[in-house]
Structure 1
């Protein structure tokens, strides 16, 4: 290479270096302008995902209702594994693609506790809420814990089961053998025993929140063994219990029923031929209202952390009634109204575990 070519090459290299340096300087002195966050709230749903017609869908309904009422916006993630929770929560807390933070990040489900705590500790100025888990507000002032007395609502549907069963044999299908689900089981059996001292019961677990086939298999076995009412608290897996009730009903000399959970599910068991349903009732856990109120508090600027409780007494726990789809004697409703009042006023206390059962 000639000396002239070498000189030209050197000049080009120097120019490139100078331009690169200038570009870096420009970026440092003029960082890219991020857009404002178009969302007010971010939600990380439980692993069962949307479409469960129960827990996640109930939370999503509350969010959607709030959007309509307050002209707010939200975004969401649907993790498929517990290991994904922290990544989604942390991503929302960092809001790297936006110049402004989310006003609230909501974790749906007890099993997000560890992930939420880790992120909430790193982002003390970010507001969080979690459904179905208590997080100590002394250490996490930026977290609201949304809890429910599921045992109370379960007692009411259990009492209905005790009054309606013609076999004195009722079942329970849970998602996991854990304290939360056993609140449902314990309250259910307590209510059934209160209204019918002769009732017998069986309890089984799918071991999964999204396995409808497992839910149906367990219910098929119970119905085959003569159990005529089954309460499912198993997320999407519980839809299999309703499927089983639909396929079994009419094959016995007596009616069989399923009981739904969290959201209104009576419509899922409707027989189009007669407009009647095989879903006797649903234990209503009004996560929709709880989520709506979280949005509302953000909108009003009144959000606070700490414990928020849903009970029969404050209307956030109850049961579904539709006399068009299920024809019951008035005496059933009279009994339930009385028990509901006793529970709501604290005149009776419903156990919150299955371990009182002998």
Structure 2
């Protein structure tokens, strides 16, 4: 073998290795509550799995168990060359903002969080108009209620969760102006996302106040709401993922937040990911409500028609749903 042949062979190998290295794999970091929370995190997982199935691509994912792990895992994935690095939950926003400049060639995605695009050109913030989807399920709740009282159980008491509650109350009162809306939050720290016992206790208290439809926006804690609603023979409303299947006949619907699509789209774009801020509402099919065989008998044609009309008017701007996070107020609900 000549020196020239050896050199050419080595060069070819180097080119192949360089080409391979240039294709970075995406990574997905789940928020506290776990990958299989049947809600927010699990929606992200399903989006990643759908991308992998359709493309044959591979991705890395991890569940964190403490706040301290957020920045640690972000740095580790960035050092290992994963991109884009996709995170679920607003609590990743600050860690991403802290490290993004250290890894300018890595793309970061915060779903439900916000990182100022000025000074962070490699970050995409994906936000949703939760109030719009919640408005629709609030209408369904009021129209289904026979007691004149519906309710809401939130996880951690933060503006994001108050957006759900506020939209829900607005929709309920649009359908029935005299409806009573009760709202409670599970807690003020991240443990509120995974406390099914407290969620169940709040649900029972709301039922005692007359509520016969309870909307849960509480991560894994919401499973306690839906279970208790089914046990007490009232209706629950799921969130983020389609949770109708959990208690067929007792889950009126689920307020969908298409976290799955956000993850799938980010992985599909890969290194060509467009950064900045993306806001998904009814017009973009980023939020909505779930219909399937599990709740088909619970929602009448008249209910579907009224909600479809409201959806069209929200998209056109004729109906304006108040966003709690815009001014930290909710005219339709006294927190």
Same fold flag (TM > 0.5)? yes
1:277-296 pair list within 5 angstroms? 277-296=249-268
Residue 125 of structure 1 deviates from its aligned partner by 1.6
- Residue 311 of structure 1: aligned partner: 281
Partners of 1:37 and 1:176 in 2: CA distance = 40
TM-score by length of 1: 0.82
Partners of 1:88 and 1:70 in 2: CA distance = 26
Instruction: Say whether 1:264 aligns with 2:249.
Output: no
1:53-92 pair list within 5 angstroms? 53-92=38-77
Residue 324 of structure 1 deviates from its aligned partner by 5.3
| Higher deviation after alignment, 317-326 or 184-193 | 317-326
Partners of 2:275 and 2:253 in 1: CA distance = 33
Specify the SS of the correspondent of 1:206: strand
Specify the SS of the correspondent of 2:151: strand
Residue 304 of structure 1 deviates from its aligned partner by 1.4
Specify the SS of the correspondent of 1:209: helix
> Which deviations, in whole Å up to 9, do the C-alpha atoms of 1:88-144 show, x marking residues without a partner?
00111111xxxxx21211111101111111121211221110001121112100000
Specify the SS of the correspondent of 1:117: helix
Partners of 1:216 and 1:289 in 2: CA distance = 30
> Which deviations, in whole Å up to 9, do the C-alpha atoms of 1:62-104 show, x marking residues without a partner?
0110011122111112111212100000111111xxxxx2121
Q: 1:38, 1:73 within 8 Å by CA — same for their partners in 2?
A: no
- Residue 232 of structure 1: aligned partner: 216
Q: 1:291 to 1:117 in 2, by over 3 A?
A: same
1:142-161 pair list within 5 angstroms? 142-161=122-141
- Residue 168 of structure 2: aligned partner: 188
- Residue 117 of structure 2: aligned partner: 137
Q: 1:44 to 1:210 in 2, by over 3 A?
A: same
Q: Specify every segment of 5 or more residues in structure 1 that has no aligned partner in the other structure, as ranges.
A: 1-32, 96-100, 250-255, 271-276
Residue 355 of structure 1 deviates from its aligned partner by 2.7
Query: Which of 118, 141, 150 pairs up with 1:170?
Result: 150
Q: 1:37, 1:102 within 8 Å by CA — same for their partners in 2?
A: no
- Residue 6 of structure 2: aligned partner: none
Q: CA RMSD in A?
A: 1.7
Q: 1:107, 1:116 within 8 Å by CA — same for their partners in 2?
A: no
Specify the SS of the correspondent of 2:193: coil
> Which deviations, in whole Å up to 9, do the C-alpha atoms of 1:213-261 show, x marking residues without a partner?
1111111111122210110000000000011011111xxxxxx100000
Residue 322 of structure 1 deviates from its aligned partner by 2.6
Higher radius of gyration, 1 or 2: 1
Partners of 2:119 and 2:294 in 1: CA distance = 49
1:27-66 pair list within 5 angstroms? 40-66=25-51
1:186-265 pair list within 5 angstroms? 186-207=166-187, 208-249=192-233, 256-265=234-243
- Residue 253 of structure 1: aligned partner: none
Q: Matched residue pairs, number?
A: 306
Q: 1:37 to 1:141 in 2, by over 3 A?
A: closer
Residue 302 of structure 1 deviates from its aligned partner by 3.0
Instruction: Say whether 1:325 aligns with 2:295.
Output: yes
- Residue 28 of structure 1: aligned partner: none
